[in-house]
Amino acid sequence: MKFYDCKSAPSPRRVRIFIAEKGLEIPTAQVDLRNGEHLTERFRELNPWCTVPVLELDDGTTLSEAVAVCRYLEEAHPEPPLMGVDARDRAVVAMWEHRFEIDGFLAVTEAFRNQARGLAGRALTGADGVAQIPELVERGRGRVERFFAALDAQLAHHPFVAGERYTIADITAQVAVDFAGWIKMSLPDECRHAADWYRRVSARPSAAA
Amino acid sequence: MKFYDCKSAPSPRRVRIFIAEKGLEIPTAQVDLRNGEHLTERFRELNPWCTVPVLELDDGTTLSEAVAVCRYLEEAHPEPPLMGVDARDRAVVAMWEHRFEIDGFLAVTEAFRNQARGLAGRALTGADGVAQIPELVERGRGRVERFFAALDAQLAHHPFVAGERYTIADITAQVAVDFAGWIKMSLPDECRHAADWYRRVSARPSAAA
């Protein structure tokens, strides 16, 4: 098994934290996103979408998409469970993870990629050049504000994003909150439930991943 | 169990097809999206994101997000398996489903919602008004073109999207192809592998769902 990572990037961090919570050690290769290694022919054979994380299995299967990589690790290493403990719980976790990926992680991505000077012509991930749309910066920031509010509303009633246990939904939301720092946004003072949760998840050893 | 649907809408169709493939009968309520029933206080108690599909379980749990609803149904009714048959396969299915949700389904959604006159001020789903950005229509259409090409490339080597078996990844891609008709796009002639696959999945009884 081999994990293709980029230590500075938020998307593979979702998997790094997941790996740390599972207590796994996986041989890891760093992909140099800054110098376009993910756009090379060699990397595209591994992942035509030109993104990290990628997990290469011993049979040669390559898995991309953070949630799919985590799905594999969860099934191969069930303890501790990070994607739910029964049919209902697994669906609830999947719901929150998916919603906060879109409303949180992808919202920050939208604002960041349409703004960063170094990403001109690369507003979407992938091999094809896509022009930035400046209006998406404000729209993305508005989405992040609503994500913060929704996160706070959920955490007003539950210790963790998907309920009683720490799960992959916490990881996605935590990485989205940290990633929001890249566009100079942070949890507002009034989101005190989310702030308390953020302190707790950030105090876990996995947060260093 | 109760399924909240809107017969004319593509997003709950992903779950309708899944239910049909499982051979399940679930009591269903139609939500009148056209007249804004999904934005009412009553529906927001069910799903604060104001979207269908929603599956309400007998214990009162409400599941939204198509992939989470399907996750529950898969675990509660494992046969036939539509989300993979072992750890590796389940991860591969999750990867393709997730990728084609974003590159296909959400790309069509982006072009459609930023263009449709009836959705002015509602460019994103949810309770908050979001202005349309006309440039996203062209960008969304470009994404759909690339989705068609990626779908064809994958189906050149595999009978189904995630490999040897029909899965939820086929459902997501099939619904995205049909939804593209709403923005007057269809599989181009050169995508003959995807066209052959599309004929096969559309001939399944579930396609009527």
Per-residue pLDDT at B90: 98
B174-198 mean pLDDT: 98
Per-residue pLDDT at A127: 87
Q: Please choose, from the candidates B83, B141, B7, B119, the residue with its C-alpha nearest in 3D space to the C-alpha of residue A72.
A: B83
More confident position, B72 or A128: B72
Q: Nearest CB to B91: which of A71, A131, A143?
A: A71
Per-residue pLDDT at A136: 98
Q: Nearest CB to B99: which of A65, A86, A99?
A: A65
Taking the model in full, what pTM does it have? Answer: 0.97
Write the pLDDT tens digit of every residue in B158-177. Answer: 999 999 999 999 999 999 99
B7-26 mean pLDDT: 98
Q: Nearest CB to B88: which of A61, A90, A150?
A: A61
B136-149 mean pLDDT: 98
Is a pLDDT exceeding 90 seen at residue B20?
yes
Per-residue pLDDT at A164: 98
Pairwise CA distance, residues B64 & A203, whole Å: 30
- Which amino acid does the sequence have at A194? A
pLDDT tier at B58, thresholds 50, 70, 90: very high
Q: How far is B93 from chain A (nearest CA, A)?
A: 8
Contact B180, B144 (CB under 8 A): yes
Contacts of A95 in chain B (CB under 8 A): 63-65, 68
Is a pLDDT exceeding 90 seen at residue B127?
no
Per-residue pLDDT at A9: 97
Is a pLDDT exceeding 90 seen at residue B11?
yes
Distance in angstroms between the alpha carbons of the first and the last residue of chain B: 19
Place of tokens 């790094």: A16
Write the pLDDT tens digit of every residue in B41-54. Answer: 999 999 999 999 99
More confident position, B128 or A21: A21
User: Looking at the DSSP assignment, which residues form a beta bridge with residue B122?
Assistant: B130
Per-residue pLDDT at B28: 98
Structure tokens at A23: 């207590």
Record: contact B130-A139, CB cut-off 8 A: yes
Burial of B40 (0-12, 13-18, 19+ CB in 10 A): middle
> Within chain A, which residues score under 50 in pLDDT?
none
Record: contact B63-A91, CB cut-off 8 A: yes
Is a pLDDT exceeding 90 seen at residue B192?
yes
Per-residue pLDDT at B15: 98
Q: Please choose, from the candidates A46, A36, A42, A51, the residue with its C-alpha nearest in 3D space to the C-alpha of residue A5.
A: A51
Does B78 reach chain A within 8 Å, measured CB to CB? Answer: no
